[in-house]
Amino acid sequence: MTFRSLFSTRGTNHARLSGSRFGNACSAASLPHLCCILFAALPVVVATGCGKGGPVVEKVEGVVTRDGAPLEGATVLFSPAGGGLPAAGRTESGGAFRLATTMPGQPVAAGAAAGDYVVLVTKVETPPVIEVPTDHPDYGKAPMPTGAEKQPKIKYVVPQSYGDPKKSPLKATVKKGTNTFTFEIDSKAK
């Protein structure tokens, strides 16, 4: 099974995902979470060999801004345009990120393989869950939400188009050596 076929929405692979604990991983609403799933599942899913030393990668770092301000806590995923291993990272304070590539049985490689990439950036916020202690007098008295109320309202800090490989306007070419990128997110983008 290949990386691409596992997340395909055609044929039986889609049915396998929709019946799993991942739910419908291919729905448009879950695209921000798809990057997290891809990065977490990468060591298990990718079965191509790159030798005992791990994949050959180049140093990749950069900054992500949203409307000119640094964007902290966003996931950055470099998705290879021509196939291969994706690389991912998370922005820190100041919007800075560094990419890493992983493979099964190999150490994490700091960077990304040389090549062309579609860059995906995602960040969502969900409302906090209010927990009532079991010894509180109102514990268990709150009515159970129904219908749409059951699903917490997700706030897309980064527009969904930046998390869609077919719509993201962000591209990058990783070359031999150190690579530094700056990505500007427009909060009003569709």
95-135 pLDDT tens trace: 999 999 988 888 889 999 999 999 999 999 887 766 777 88
3 state SS of 81 = coil
pLDDT, tens digit, 9 for 90 and up, residues 54-94: 689 999 999 999 999 999 999 999 999 988 899 999 999 99
Answer yes or no: is 30 within a domain.
Answer: no
Answer yes or no: is 41 within a domain.
Answer: no
Q: Is 93 exposed, middle or buried (0-12, 13-18, 19+ CB in 10 A)?
A: exposed
Neighbours of 65 (CB within 10 A): 15
pTM of structure:
0.64
Q: Which range marks the domain in which residue 88 is found?
A: 53-185
Strands 171-174 and 87-90 come out as unpaired
Task: Match 């396998």 to its residue by tokens.
Answer: 16
Answer yes or no: is 37 within a domain.
Answer: no
Answer yes or no: is 40 within a domain.
Answer: no
Q: What share of the chain is helix, strand, coil (3-state, %, to 5)?
A: 20, 25, 50
Answer yes or no: is 32 within a domain.
Answer: no
Answer yes or no: is 44 within a domain.
Answer: no
CA-closest candidate to residue 142, choices 151, 155, 152, 132: 132
Based on the structure, what is the number of domains in the chain?
A: 1
Answer yes or no: is 83 within a domain.
Answer: yes
Tokens of 92: 């820190």
**What CATH number has the domain bearing residue 110?**
2.60.40.10
pLDDT-derived band at 16, boundaries 50, 70, 90: very low
Answer yes or no: is 143 within a domain.
Answer: yes
3 state SS of 38 = helix
